[in-house]
Amino acid sequence: MNDFKLITFLTSNIDIDKHSIEALIENCKLLKVDKGSFLLRQGEICKYSFYVEQGLLRYYSIDEKGKEHILQFAPETWFVADRESVYFNQPSHYFIQALEDSSVILLDENFITQLAQKNTSFLQFNNKLLHNHIRHLQNRINQLLSATAEERYLDFIKIYPNLLLRVPQSMVASYLGITPESLSRVRKDLAAKNFKR
């Protein structure tokens, strides 16, 4: 119980004691999923926000030609959800899939409401998280519209320092909105600049 990363995250960001959080989290489900399993499929309603304790998830869509587009990776300590589906109770356009064997805490509205009741500063913090998320999304949109492949890649490794070793390059390319060939080129050019021996 004490080892949950979510507890550490919450207690270090809002003024709440560990026991109150533990009591709330006891009502949540901890899901252990195998690599490849789906937590959400297109057409389903997303009932939870997922907090990744261990492992790695991806949040993606599939277009009419069958091509995958990754919106977000969620490694340890990240949240992921189809907020449109959760908040507006609409069928999802997206998939959430485990890329590694993962443990995920399922957070529902109930958890949020109860936490807010116990601790008013949580609402403020949740608001900050939401704006952080919006900032991240804005940045993503702007990059996809205007940044070079190298700029996108450099931003990616800042946000996800260890993902290059955990996912196939084709998925990184899909996240960056470039072809795997251009990702190879970017990495080759960087190596030419930075590799000294």
- Closest approach, Cβ 152 to other proteins, in A, equals 13
Q: Tell me the C-alpha to C-alpha distance, in Å, between residue 145 and each of 67, 108, 170, 178.
A: 19, 34, 20, 12
Question: Of the two residues 23 and 157, which places its CB atom closer to other proteins in the complex?
Answer: 157
Question: For the residues of 87-99, what is the DSSP string, one character each?
Answer: HH--B-S-EEEES
The reply on whether position 181 binds other proteins by CB under 8 A is no
In the chain, the DSSP E strands lie at 29-33, 38-40, 49-54, 56-62, 68-75, 79-80, 95-98, 102-107
Best CA proximity match to 57, nearest among 99, 89, 93: 99
Question: Of the two residues 35 and 47, which places its CB atom closer to other proteins in the complex?
Answer: 35
From CA 195, how far away is CA 115, in angstroms rounded? 50
The reply on whether position 77 binds other proteins by CB under 8 A is no
Question: Of the two residues 28 and 190, which places its CB atom closer to other proteins in the complex?
Answer: 190
- The interface region with other proteins, picked from 34-42, 92-100, 131-139, 188-196 by CB under 8 A, is 188-196
The reply on whether position 196 binds other proteins by CB under 8 A is yes
- Closest approach, Cβ 153 to other proteins, in A, equals 8
Give the CA diameter of the chain.
Answer: 59
- Closest approach, Cβ 102 to other proteins, in A, equals 16
- Closest approach, Cβ 77 to other proteins, in A, equals 15
Best CA proximity match to 95, nearest among 85, 110, 106, 109: 85
Best CA proximity match to 178, nearest among 157, 158, 138, 148: 148
Question: Segment 114-173, which members bind other proteins (CB under 8 A)?
Answer: 157, 161-162, 164-166
Among 13, 113, 117, 184, binds other proteins (CB under 8 A): 184
The reply on whether position 112 binds other proteins by CB under 8 A is no
How is residue 45 annotated by DSSP? B
Q: Which residues bind other proteins (CB under 8 A)?
A: 157, 161-162, 164-166, 184, 187-197
